[in-house]
Amino acid sequence: MAHHLLLAAATILLTLFFLSPPTAADSVVLDIDGNPVEAGSQYYVLTRGTRGAGRGGLTAAPLGGLCPLYVGQHRSWTQQGSPVTFFPANPSQKYITQSSDVNIAFGLNPICRNLGVWQLGYSFSGVPYVTTNGVIGNPGAETFTNWFKIEHAFGPESYKIVYCFLVPAPWYSRMSPYEYCEQLDATIPGPSDLAMLSLVPIDKPLPFFGFVFKKVTSTPPPSPIAPPPTTPPSPTAPVPAPTATIGYSSY
């Protein structure tokens, strides 16, 4: 009984945590043209580097099998990758704001029968990856690995994409749960010219100035919002405790 009460309380806490409305202090995320990033619109996720040339854009690619797909980054800055759509936890938000929870989706993938929604997963050796097995919406404990945040990086319209763990306080403490965040960087060698996204410390200098968002101006493909597949995609490996020590490498 006590276990069920604790689970219910945790779910309520997480739901309130996700759905807290943006405050006046929240800053709107801007695209490379200086316009607010719109919820539901499509954007290429590129990088800003020296003289405008960073790494390439983000896309989804298989690793060791047809499905699931993992989020990777082209090494060449001339490759734009695949566009994504941002869905805020609060569906009434028109624009994406810094530090607010968002789903990030590539769109419907008929082969893997999912919506291409980013989700934090781990390999059996404990290495964090970003897969595309997530779902849109339904904030709470069961979807916690599907939510990311966008934070300011360096220079105008340049950002970090971060994942935040909600760390509970000890049972004997009166402290509230707190966030522990790490940022995404392409540190794992992948197929072709790709490197796959993983987590690195939030204060680690990135090998580029940050991610930038370029709005897709051509006719977009069908909306990624669609009925869930009849057969769910294969689950990722169990997520270990966030306190586990993980080694990072650069390519």
> What's the pLDDT score for residue 3?
34
> What's the pLDDT score for residue 65?
84
Q: State how far the Cα of 162 lies from the Cα of 199, in Å rounded to an integer.
A: 8
Q: What is the pLDDT along the chain (251 residues), one digit of tens a residue?
A: 433 333 333 443 444 444 444 443 469 999 999 999 999 999 999 987 655 456 789 999 998 888 989 999 998 878 899 999 999 999 999 999 999 999 999 998 889 999 999 999 998 888 999 999 999 999 988 999 999 999 998 877 889 999 999 888 777 777 788 889 999 999 889 888 899 999 998 887 776 678 999 999 855 444 444 434 444 444 444 444 444 333 333 33
The conformation of residue 28, written as its DSSP 8-state character, comes to B
Question: CA–CA distance from 11 to each of 115, 139, 165, 208 (Å)?
Answer: 24, 9, 15, 37
> What's the pLDDT score for residue 49?
66
> Structure pTM?
0.75
User: 3-state DSSP call for residue 179?
Assistant: strand
> What's the pLDDT score for residue 160?
94
Question: How far, rounded to the nearest angstrom, does the alpha carbon of residue 95 sit from its chain's CA centroid?
Answer: 17
- The pair of structure tokens assigned to 163 is 């994942």
> What's the pLDDT score for residue 150?
98
Q: State how far the Cα of 129 lies from the Cα of 104, in Å rounded to an integer.
A: 15
> What's the pLDDT score for residue 202?
83
Q: State how far the Cα of 72 lies from the Cα of 80, in Å rounded to an integer.
A: 12
Q: Domains in the chain, ordered, with CATH? A: 28-215 (2.80.10.50)
Which residue has 């101006």 as its token pair?
Answer: 217
Q: State how far the Cα of 123 lies from the Cα of 126, in Å rounded to an integer.
A: 5
Task: Give the pairing type, strands 149-152 and 84-88.
Answer: unpaired
Q: Is the dihedral of CA 141, 126, 164, 120 positive or negative?
A: negative
> What's the pLDDT score for residue 204?
79
> What's the pLDDT score for residue 72?
95
